[in-house]
Structure 1
């Protein structure tokens, strides 16, 4: 994930979030043997932008017109402080034109819910498979406007379905379902029932959409934090079993100063960068 205004950075929060360009980051998370996590909070001097390229220090994302190419040159955070280098190539099957307001201050843009991905990273992570690309934009802190949300993206025989469920701090809720076909056409759907399933290892509550009578199940734990869970989840939608990526985000916990101090261990701050001296 590329961040301008690193929303989970304790350093950005401590700064008052007044200068997002001074808190930029390329987050990489890999799983299983050799898994690494990178989330270095970099200063303004590390940021370069153009219409098709986002450069953050030694790493960059570049849109060719048909592919998103991500060149990674990062350092893993504690406890495995080692280089994480390589390339990811994402090839969308189609690019949507959809933009969704999650809140007056927050927008979600599912650019390519159906894509192919090629991964070639250090620590032996080399594979090809199903991919996905989206973005979020906001003018306020997530924890200022939301208490909790879950998101899921599930491949289907005809394309994919995405679900966003959220509780806003003003007491209103979001219950969004989208169906995307392989040409990139998007239509809003009535989601199946919101169904609770087992909490994460850090006891973050989790639910997702499932046909009546179906209980979703975690197929693989990917990332587990005191306020956040990312996992592969198996559910059933319109009679079709499917396994997709699911996340649960507890913004009530994230507001805690204790949690933010814990994050400082995993999110190092590197304010100085020179493209000339570090080229």
Structure 2
């Protein structure tokens, strides 16, 4: 998110693109054949790109992850994204440039979200600095960044009904919350406070607090001090099953601004959604690397 709070960007790299209808229709048996670098920009002139590509487009090394025309690479201190994508309708245009995420420290936290370990959350660097240099007017900025990963061996909708996640920087570091409702009805919740040095500790979470539903009426809730009500600051991604936004809340007496996500996997499981998603997530199976 930009320092001024008016712009944001998210970049998600997939092997086995979990939100791709093409991957779902394939039976999810060949994740390498459904890879993607999803780039979305939020704010004036925002764009959304999520092209499902085949195995021919995938190249990986110890320090690089490349899908067709875009790549991410680790130089030992920074995660650098070289982006060259086409946004989906209705605003079709090229999204090109470079984004750099510099962790202030890297944590050693790894948490299972499912009881049998089929889904794992790995918050690598909850406190990072970000620099954005895109080839678009006004899209050169710096601000607060975040870097994590999720790993799984089953489809999300097989194991979960709903979850919310949020990470909120504050004067002592940042605190992240995961609140999960599994398919069997059991609940999982965690609150972790991260220090600037990469230290992490489980802390007691303030009450889970509802706030205004998204435009698609996805239920939203996050943690807040008693008597405080979270509020959306910046709408990011608003889909029938998913909401991402910048949210203001109050934690331990401090007003904080962070990124929040709510995911309704019962809605996502509906077969009616897949054709809708195909409009936003085109499939490009073939790829030829330059000689």
TM over 0.5: yes
The match for 1:186 is 200
The match for 1:48 is 59
Q: In 2, Cα distance between the equivalents of 1:18 and 1:47?
A: 16
Q: In 1, Cα distance between the equivalents of 2:282 and 2:27?
A: 18
Question: Within the alignment, does 1:74 sit opposite 2:88 as a pair?
Answer: no
Q: In 2, Cα distance between the equivalents of 1:128 and 1:60?
A: 20
Q: CA deviation at 1:184?
A: 0.2
The match for 1:155 is 169
CA contact (8 A) 1:41 1:268 kept: yes
Q: In 1, Cα distance between the equivalents of 2:199 and 2:155?
A: 31
The match for 1:226 is 240
Report the TM-score, using the length of structure 1 for normalisation: 0.98
Aligned equivalent of 1:144, options 150, 158, 167: 158
The match for 1:123 is 136
Q: In 1, Cα distance between the equivalents of 2:252 and 2:277?
A: 39
The match for 1:100 is 111
The match for 1:254 is 268
Question: Within the alignment, does 1:28 sit opposite 2:39 as a pair?
Answer: yes
Secondary structure of 1:153's partner?
A: strand
Q: In 1, Cα distance between the equivalents of 2:204 and 2:57?
A: 43
Report the TM-score, using the length of structure 2 for normalisation: 0.94
Q: CA deviation at 1:264?
A: 0.4
Q: In 1, Cα distance between the equivalents of 2:60 and 2:15?
A: 10
The match for 1:114 is 127
CA RMSD in angstroms, aligned pairs only? 0.8
Secondary structure of 2:113's partner?
A: strand
CA contact (8 A) 1:35 1:123 kept: no
| Match runs of 1:162-241 below 5 Å | 162-241=176-255
CA contact (8 A) 1:36 1:80 kept: yes
Secondary structure of 2:56's partner?
A: helix
Q: In 2, Cα distance between the equivalents of 1:32 and 1:112?
A: 24
Structure 1 runs of 4+ aligned residues shifted over 3 Å read none
Aligned length: 277
Q: In 1, Cα distance between the equivalents of 2:32 and 2:185?
A: 31
Aligned equivalent of 2:74, options 52, 56, 63: 63
Q: In 2, Cα distance between the equivalents of 1:241 and 1:61?
A: 34
Question: Within the alignment, does 1:270 sit opposite 2:284 as a pair?
Answer: yes
Structure 2 unaligned spans of 5+: 1-11
Q: CA deviation at 1:122?
A: 2.5
Q: In 2, Cα distance between the equivalents of 1:77 and 1:220?
A: 21
Q: CA deviation at 1:232?
A: 0.8
